[in-house]
Amino acid sequence: MSHSPYSWLSNSLETLHRANWYRSPQTLEGLPGAIASLSGQPVLNFASNNYLGLAGDRRLIEAAKEALEQYGTGSTGSRLTSGHRSLHRELERSIAQLKQTEDALVFSSGYLANLGAIAALMGPRDLILSDEYNHSSLKNGAILSKATVITYGHNNVQELTEKLREYRSQYRRSLIISDSIFSMDGDLCRLPQLLEVAQTYDSMLLIDEAHATGVFGSTGAGLVQHFQLHKPELIQVGTLSKAIGSLGGYVAGSALLIDYLRNRAPSWIYTTGLSPADTAAAQTAIAIIQTEPQHREQLWQNINDFQALLTRHCPQIVPIASESPIISLPLETPQQALDLSAYLKTQGIFAPAIRPPTVPTSRIRISLMATHQREHLESLVDGIKHYLDRMSGQ
């Protein structure tokens, strides 16, 4: 038996298989919408972050095509060398205008925006307080920064306060980081309280609006707008890849912050500028989000309708939270989550099982979109009901 330094890879994968944690991608075809084609089978799509349906909108497609014709496929360099186009600056101005901030900076993804911002702002002498359910990009940004990281219980503002009271004075700078809508549970962070605690303990606050932008607030600016809590110094991160329907990420905040990040954020400085097509599509989406509230209104109508249907027909299953388009239905074991997802698929419904290690508890995670029809929601609830009835019959 010859030993290879790579043999641990198959052992490690074997462990994932045994725990039912193994994952692989599924192929969807065609334009993104409420109905998708999954391995050739048409399915109702409850797995997409395309909350407003904009990723398949003709206007975004046309804007991307025009940018392709005018600027070509690639940005060809980092923004500080040869990769900066007027399109990038226009998009940054639009984001700042949507977010009501002085300025904004566009990154190549939301993940890179978090890595870059946190690593640039914090160092080994600093303290980061992080919600235990934060997105991977926030957690890895904190690790990359080499600051001391204290994780507090999910949405536990009291624990956050106690940690700051105990440890704040031992560190130079302090930063609280949190999703605004938590990506796996779909619940809201306690933004008013976070702002208050941050102020009391001389701490900066970074909020990741990835799932809230386009969905919350009177013009779709996100949770900050929903709570009407515009603080000029608040650091707002987000993505262009969810409700905005394109690709890329951003940081929005004070002009000082943005100027600093342009000079200090490694994941912005040392990576190629966002492609012209993605940039133009995002720019068009932001205009649509601000001028066409009907998409957001329809999304919220669907959220309310789905909740009412679920409560009426499946009272035995209570969502982890139901305050956003992300609605997670808890199940006892990874196998049950897989079984329900597989059953729904036989019914022509795509709703993925999310299991450890991604989340602590197994669930079916449902993402609602403005483009879902009433009968799509009814089919989903029907499917869940049939599965639950079958289970309890056993």
Chain residues binding ligand PLP by CB under 6 A are: 109-111, 114, 135, 137, 179, 183, 208, 210-211, 239, 241, 249
CB of 32 to ligand PLP, least distance (A): 14
Which residue's Cβ has the minimum distance to ligand PLP?
Answer: 110
Relative to beta strand 103-107, strand 249-253 is: antiparallel
CB of 178 to ligand PLP, least distance (A): 9
Nearer to ligand PLP, 114 or 236 (CB): 114
CB of 83 to ligand PLP, least distance (A): 18
Tell the smallest beta-carbon distance from residue 180 to ligand PLP (Å).
8
Of 371, 363, 379, the C-alpha closest to 182 is 363
Residue number with CB closer to ligand PLP (191 or 310): 191
Report CA torsion sign: 210, 214, 215, 217: positive
Of 223 and 314, nearer to ligand PLP (C-beta) is: 223
Q: Least distance in Å: CB of 386 to ligand PLP?
A: 31
Query: Which residue, 118 or 309, is less far from ligand PLP as judged by CB?
Result: 118
Shortest distance in whole angstroms from residue 368 CB to ligand PLP: 16
Rounded distance between C-alpha atoms, residue 296 and residue 69, angstroms: 31
Shorter beta-carbon distance to ligand PLP: residue 117 or 204:
117
Residue closer to ligand PLP (CB basis): 54 or 381: 54
Q: Provide the greatest CA pair distance for the chain.
A: 67
DSSP state letters, 106-129: EESSHHHHHHHHHHHH--TT-EEE
One DSSP character per residue, 266-300 reads HHHHTSBPPPHHHHHHHHHHHHHHHH-HHHHHHHH
**Tokens, residue 311:** 């409560």
Question: How many residues are given for the chain?
Answer: 394
164-179 burial, b at 16+ Cβ within 10 Å, e below that, comes to beeeeeebeebbbbbb
Query: Which amino acid makes up residue 290?
Result: Q
Compute the least distance from the CB of residue 103 to ligand PLP, in Å.
Answer: 20
| DSSP line for 123-190 | -TT-EEEEETT--HHHHHHHHHHT-EEEEE-TT-HHHHHHHHHHHGGGSS-EEEEEESB-TTT-PBP-
- Which one, 190 or 386, has the nearer CB to ligand PLP? 190
